[in-house]
Structure 1
Amino acid sequence: MLRSHIITAKGIPSGVWSRLLLPLVAGLIGLGIALGGLPGLAQSPAEPPTLAEVESPAAVTLGDQTLFTIQSPQIASSPEARARRISDRLTATANNQSIPVEAIALSDTEFGTAIYAEDSLIMVVDDEDVVGTGLTPRTMATQHLAVIQREMQRYREERRADYLSRAAAIALVCTLGLGLAILVLANVMPQFYRWLDRQQDRWMPNLRIQTVELLTAAQLTILVQVITKVLHFVLVLALVLFYLSFVLSLFPQTRALGQGVWGHFGGAVGAVWNGFIGYLPNLFSIAIIVTIAASLLRLARWLSANIRRGRLNIAGFYPEWALPTYRLVQFLLVAITFALVFPYLPGAESPAFQGVSIFFGLLVSLGAGGVILSIVAGFILVYTRAFRAGDRIKFGDIEGFVEEKSLFVTRLRTLENVLVSVPNAALLTGNIANYSALIREQQIPIIVTTTVTLGYDLPWPLVHTTLIAAAAATAHILKEPRPEVWQTALDDFYVSYQLRAATMQPQMLEKIYSELHQNLQDHCNRAGIEIMSPHYRALRDGSQSTQPASYLPETYQPPGWNFSPGWPSAGDAAPPQNTDTP
């Protein structure tokens, strides 16, 4: 049985409130009149509130459905708070299967028309709820009751096991259908692309305007393939969105999400489009900056290429500087372009973007010190013209040919064909011997030197003539300047003769030295000059010559021993031995 009074938020019957408030209000009014009258009493009676003066309405919902709206807060702080309270009561009643839908009914009270579910109050419709509608509280309550009963019946039916089972079966069928459609498209489209390739000469003629060929058949085929791929992507995306919208709408728990799939997608696309439209002024500025930078880069590339090829000569600027200078200009232009474009990038003013930029700069400054040093050293080596690719150089105990120069390291191929990478910073702080620079730039040959030590018994003109002849007989030794011999030292037992000859082939030094030493042996043997250790000569007193037998005369006989004047010669008898016994 319905009660005839309303329980307030504090749980006190409304009649009690009336008995307490009326005397209090009457006493306050009398006190105001005694003190000179209330300001409001002198004014005209207040006009009834209009619809425009009422607060914005709030929606009452059950599940994912909006039942109706309310515009009066009553005892709540706002219409939204009151709507949430009514929605919570409706949800609790709907989940309570022991309360039939028919048990929800109306009851007239002194505050308005109440809607009850058995002994539980759902809401009260009073005069403030019908402001501007032209309805009575009873009529509005009757409309709300019909909506509540209908939607509560639907709410309960959609949460029964048989309904959820049917929805799951339909969702499974839709999932299989979507997978099959995507699989078919994934297999059909490549075949379609191959068919286009085969038919391009037959169905894809060259696109011409009079004698001007705009697109060839191959280019037109590629364009059609690109358009087809875009349509393929759009079709798959539409299928996925339709699938999500339909399947999620099958279940009451996800219906709101399913109904909002297209709205969310459209909102995302709209946000991207609006962002793109709003970004167009910045994009135009970026395009101008990038265009100017690209034009300067093309100009620098053209200048670099012509200087390298010798078509353009600038006094004091060497051709090997062209490429590294272009790379340096390219780096500076890119850095300046990025600095100019940075303020126009999306999110450039955000603290997160600025924080990431500062963090990245800190990492570079702390961890790239060695890298920057190598880069600077690489450019210094280029502009000091210490060496170039192909030169033969010696650095420390490493000697070989320059294979590659990069910003960080220089790679040398040793004489044993071993590739050695040397940091540019190390090359900058060490001494580099370049065997090829003077030959390449000034056509000045390098000097090949070797030293021979011979005894004082040999006449030095004979030695000079023999050594010079050996040098002249060596391949890749220049006739001019002529080879020459320097007597570099007069030691205790021998004279040091240094043979100096010129060559323009530094890459063949090892072969030249080997052949020169062979010729020295041959020419000294022909001239009767023995090349041997001076100490060995000092201890020698006759015996076989150290020259090869082919260089000795046929009548040659080894000299005899001659240790002291008192000893017999090799043909005399041996001295008698002492046979005395002690």
Structure 2
Amino acid sequence: MNQQPISFHHSWRSLSYPIRRCIRAAALICLIAALIVTTSLSVVSQTPPVTTGKAASAAVKLDNQPVFVIRDKSQFASLEQRAQRVSDRLQRFADNQSIPLEAIATASVEGNSVIYAEDNILVTVSAADAKAAGLSQQALTNDYSQHIRQSVSQYRQERSASYLIRAAIIAVVCTIALIVLLIILNNAVPHFHRWLDRQRNRRVPSLQIQNFELMSSDQLSDLLLDLTSLLRIGLILTILYVYFSLILNLFPQTRPLASHLFSYVRNLGVTVWTAFVNYLPSLLMVGLIVIATYYLLRFLKRVFDGISRRAFSIRGFYPEWGEPTYRLLSYLIIALAVIVAFPFLPGSRSPAFQGISLFLGALVSLGATAAVANIVSGFILVYTRAFQLGDRIQIGGVLGDVEEKLALVTRIRTLNNELVTIPNAALMAANITNYSALVRDSNTPLILHTTVTLGYDVPWRRVHQILVEAALATADILPNPSPFVLQTALTDFYVNYELRAHTVHPEKMPAIYSTLHQNIQDKFNEAEIEICSPHYSALRDGNTTTIPGSYLPQDYTPPRFRVDSIDTSAKLEDHSGDRQV
């Protein structure tokens, strides 16, 4: 069965507006309080600890493990130097298997207690040591002696053959367990991926707020798959860390490596946690900046959406300016928020971060000149109201409808369904003819015009009547204002008649022109008037005048063409006389 999308709209909107407002105010107060508290904690955590009067000490170590501590440097230059000298003696004694543990004994020499093994002095306990430790000299000597026996005994036992064999067996078992666990993990995760992939649009719902889909079922499934892959990688790394720590701790020779590995991970965790705690005040400040920016943009979005929907108006501010103005203000507000939040970002004061910022700034400044010019031109075109989406415009030799207005370019769909992309900077440098602007803004119809040339013998009033009738017979031509004709030129052989008609459908210009020309042909054919542009080469003495008949007298008759005879005999005699000379 398909699962219904998870919606947070009803549960939140079911609350009354005062309750929702109180919840938002409480959340904001909690955020500010957390900022104050974390700031105080950060200051306290960065305050250097107050030193007490407790005496300093240095640890005596065997195999990098502490045995006991000393608090008096005696005749040595420092506590660390004395502790290192005693550690070296213990190391030599522990490595010398020929000296048994039972050889460890104590003796009193010149007021000092000496712990020795055969002829090897291990450590000397003085009255100053006992005073610094807060014990009697004998008690401190016995304590040192007991710790030495335990540490040397453990040291020698861990290097025995039986211990190493047992450690090797444990290492082999752990390795087998590791391999089995990795095989199970690598086989289980793909099975889970396949199962999760089968649950798309079934058990994995989509996330919605109102009618807006935040994340589809496929996107949520992909997110779960990615999280599972990351979880598998994290588990594998954790298992490997535990395995190597255990294996390295089994053998005394590799135990320092395990200690270093643990120290590295621990220090890394402590460093990350300390950095996170110290960054909390800055993080909360960034959160406040983000919240303030979000609600400011949300408020502006409602204002300019209302202007775009004509819910309310501002004098001199056109509705189509709403969306681009909101975008421009959102860019400026986000840029200002980034500038304000920049000092609170981690690493913002580091030289590397500042160097990268300068490099990116120079890169953008050098490479984005054309882009910035196009963006600025795009906003100028918006505020000059040169055109809007859907307008029929002509730019240069491109005629078509505005399909898309972007920050950098404008796309025009031509009458042949060709998509022409023009940079906004090029539009600023070109003449733009908008056929739709007046129709859309003031309902002023567009005037279509076409020209017909006819001879002087056709009565001009009749031509006017026929052209007007052809226009009125054309679909999408307005009868009011009525079409009219202008005689634009009186040439040598014909008259130019320009028909002008009104329409409120500029997007249908090609179809209207085609139908209009068809009707003009039909009307002139019905009136038995041939559409042509006559050219005369006439002998005026016998031809009919080209003046229309309404201007001629009623008794006017066209003269016939006359041909006069020529005396050719006289001309022949003259030519013969010329030849005889």
Tell me the TM-score normalized by structure 2.
Answer: 0.64
Contact 1:174 1:247 in 2 (8 A): no
Matched, 1:169 2:169: no
* Contact 1:378–1:408 under 8 Å retained in 2: yes
For residues 535-573 of structure 1, give each alpha carbon's deviation from its aligned partner in whole angstroms, at most 9, with x where no partner exists: 5x759xxxxxxxxxxxxxxxxxxxxxx999599xxxxxx
Residue 102 of structure 1 aligns to a residue whose secondary structure is: coil
Change (3 A) 1:445 1:369: same
Deviations 1:165-197 (A, max 9, x none): 4354133123124325645864797879999x9
CA pair 172-474 structure 1, distance change in 2 beyond 3 A: same
Structure 1: segments with no counterpart, 5+ residues: 1-51, 201-221, 540-561, 568-582
Larger radius of gyration: 1
Shift of 1:140: 8.4
Which deviates further from its counterpart, 52-61 or 296-305? 52-61
Secondary structure at the counterpart of residue 421 of structure 1:
strand
Deviation of the 1:467 alpha carbon: 2.4
Deviations 1:17-60 (A, max 9, x none): xxxxxxxxxxxxxxxxxxxxxxxxxxxxxxxxxxx897631443
Assess if the C-alpha contact under 8 Å between 1:167 and 1:251 holds in 2.
no
Residue matched to 1:520: 520
SS at match of 2:159: helix
The CA deviation at 1:478 is 1.6
Deviations 1:361-413 (A, max 9, x none): 33333332322222222111111111110001111222211111121211111
Instruction: Please report how far the alpha carbon of residue 301 of structure 1 lies from its aligned counterpart in structure 2 after TM superposition.
Output: 1.6
Q: CA deviation at 1:312?
A: 0.9
> Could you list the runs of 5+ residues in structure 2 that have no partner in the other structure?
1-52, 205-220, 539-559, 566-581
Give, in angstroms, the shift of residue 506 of structure 1: 1.0
SS at match of 1:488: strand
Instruction: Quote the Cα distance in structure 2 between the aligned partners of 1:188 and 1:135.
Output: 68
Q: What are the superposed Cα offsets for residues 304-352 of structure 1, whole Å, 9 maximum, x if unpaired? A: 2222222112211111111111112222222233333333344444444
Counterparts of 2:454 and 2:362, CA distance in 1: 68
CA 563–88 in structure 1, closer or farther in 2 if over 3 Å, else same: farther
**Structure 2 counterpart of 1:465:** 465
Alignment-derived partner of residue 401 in structure 1: 401
| Pairing 1:421-440 to 2, within 5 Å after superposition | 421-440=421-440
Aligned to 2:293: 293
For residue 491 of structure 1, what is the aligned residue in structure 2?
491
Residue in structure 2 matched with residue 150 of structure 1 by the alignment = 153
Q: Aligned to 1:449, what secondary structure does the other structure show?
A: strand
Over 3 Å counting, the alpha-carbon distance change for 1:113 and 1:89 in structure 2 is closer
**Match of 2:493, SS?**
coil
Q: How does 1:126-525 map to 2 (within 5 A)?
A: 127=126, 130=129, 132=131, 134-135=137-138, 146=149, 149-154=152-157, 156-157=159-160, 162=165, 165-179=168-182, 182=185, 186=189, 242-243=242-243, 245-252=245-252, 254-256=254-256, 258=258, 277-525=277-525
User: Cα gap change, 1:252/1:397 in structure 2, threshold over 3 Å: closer, same or farther?
Assistant: farther
Deviates more, 1:289-298 or 1:77-86: 77-86
Closer, same or farther in 2 for the Cα pair 1:137/1:320, shift >3 Å?
Answer: closer
**SS in structure 2 of the partner of residue 413 of structure 1:** strand
C-alpha distance in 2 between matches for 1:422 and 1:314: 32
SS state of the match for residue 430, structure 1? coil
Is residue 93–residue 117 contact of structure 1 (8 Å, CA) maintained in 2?
no
8 Å Cα contact 2:159/2:252 also seen in 1: no
Residue of structure 2 in register with 1:60 after alignment:
61
Number of aligned residue pairs: give it. Answer: 463
Deviation digits for residues 120-153 of structure 1, max 9, x if unmatched? x997647599554615999788667645643542
Q: Measure, in 2, the Cα distance between the counterparts of 1:159 and 1:460.
A: 129
Instruction: Give the deviation of 1:294 after TM superposition.
Output: 2.7
Aligned-pair CA distance for 1:156: 3.3
The 1:494–1:81 alpha-carbon spacing in structure 2 relative to 1, beyond 3 Å, is farther
Shift of 1:262: 7.2
- Which amino acid in the other structure matches residue 179 of structure 1? L
Deviates more, 1:233-242 or 1:433-442: 233-242
Alignment of 1:527-538 (within 5 A): 527-532=527-532, 534=534
For residues 67 and 347 of structure 2, the distance between their equivalents in structure 1, rounded to whole angstroms, comes to 42
What is the alpha-carbon distance in structure 1 between the residues aligned to residue 466 and residue 453 of structure 2? 13
In 2: Cα distance, 1:490 partner to 1:101 partner: 136
Q: Does 1:102 align with 2:105?
A: no
In structure 1, the residue matched to 2:570 is: none
Separation in 2 of the partners of 1:362 and 1:117? 77
Give how far 1:508 is off. 1.1
Q: 1:434: how far off?
A: 0.7
Q: Offset of 1:100 from its aligned partner?
A: 4.0
CA RMSD of aligned residues (A): 4.9
One-letter amino acid of the counterpart of residue 60, structure 1 = K
1:360 is displaced (CA, Å) by 3.3
Q: Distance in 2 between matches of 1:122 and 1:178?
A: 52
1:125 touches 1:141 (CA, 8 Å); kept in 2? no
| Cα distance in 1 for residues equivalent to 2:417 and 2:98 | 95
TM-score, structure 1 normalization: 0.64
Mapped contact 1:301–1:326 kept (Cα < 8 A)? yes
- Are the counterparts in 2 of residues 130 and 140 from structure 1 also a CA contact under 8 Å? no
Q: Which has the higher contact order (CA 8 A, sep 6+)?
A: 2
